[in-house]
């Protein structure tokens, strides 16, 4: 009597084998956008946390003789659901209610950094962003220029926004930008620097 020792494969179940399922899952994870792999942060090639603002970034009028170039900025790990960005620079130590040096809105979600001098170079216009009128009365960036005395803090904030339907236009006052940005913000990253004369 002859015995057939061939093994009959199981009937197909419609599911991939476990090792193939694990492989497909791993590939799918690596294909996801790089959101929230860590805290939402901002860094700069021009400025270091707690450091002094460089002359290139200082205001260029009145008693200040800097280059008035907006700093290079890069942000990392935006929260899930981010559809755009905004950036502000604010001096909380200025008399009164502080001083707005820069407010930018309408930065696309695909843009994760701003080059140095993005304000004056036309980079922001090319990507469709809008800049507010700062407290110097200028549309765009106005660098630090505190009165002589104790150094002031300059808080750079990058906002991750859940939408891009901001009701802001080029040249509107910075506080108006800040209010509109706040209505759509789902996360913030900050870098604080100092400057005094």
Tens of pLDDT along the chain (197 residues)?
555 555 555 555 555 555 544 544 444 444 344 455 799 999 999 999 999 999 999 999 999 999 999 999 999 999 999 999 999 999 999 999 999 999 999 999 999 999 999 999 999 999 999 999 999 999 999 999 999 999 999 999 999 999 877 777 788 899 988 888 999 999 999 999 999 99
Rounded-to-integer distance, Cα 104 and Cα 40, Å: 18
Rounded-to-integer distance, Cα 182 and Cα 12, Å: 54
* Residues contacting 70, CB < 8 A, separation 6+: 57, 102, 114, 116, 117, 118, 119, 120, 140, 141, 143
- The full set of domain ranges for the chain reads 34-195
Tokens of 164: 């891009």
Candidates 1.20.1440.230, 3.40.50.300, 3.90.280.10, 3.30.930.10; CATH matching 34-195: 3.90.280.10
């Amino acid at each position: 009597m002859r015995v057939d020792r061939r093994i009959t494969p199981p009937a197909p179940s419609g599911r991939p084998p476990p090792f193939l399922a694990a492989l497909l899952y791993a590939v799918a994870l690596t294909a996801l956008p790089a959101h929230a792999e860590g805290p939402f942060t901002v860094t700069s090639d021009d400025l270091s946390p707690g450091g002094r603002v460089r002359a290139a970034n200082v205001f260029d009028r009145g008693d200040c003789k800097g280059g008035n170039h907006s700093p290079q900025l890069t942000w990392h790990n935006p929260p899930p659901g981010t559809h755009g960005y905004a950036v502000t620079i604010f001096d909380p130590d200025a008399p009164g209610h502080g001083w707005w040096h820069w407010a930018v809105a309408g930065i696309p979600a695909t843009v994760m950094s701003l080059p140095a001098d993005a304000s004056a170079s036309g980079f922001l216009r090319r990507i469709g962003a809008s800049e507010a009128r700062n407290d110097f009365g200028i549309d765009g960036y106005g660098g630090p220029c505190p009165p002589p005395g104790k150094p002031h803090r300059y808080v750079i904030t990058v906002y991750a926004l859940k939408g891009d339907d901001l009701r802001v236009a080029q040249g509107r006052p910075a506080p108006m930008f800040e209010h509109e940005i706040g209505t759509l913000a789902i996360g913030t990253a900050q870098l604080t620097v100092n400057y005094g004369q």
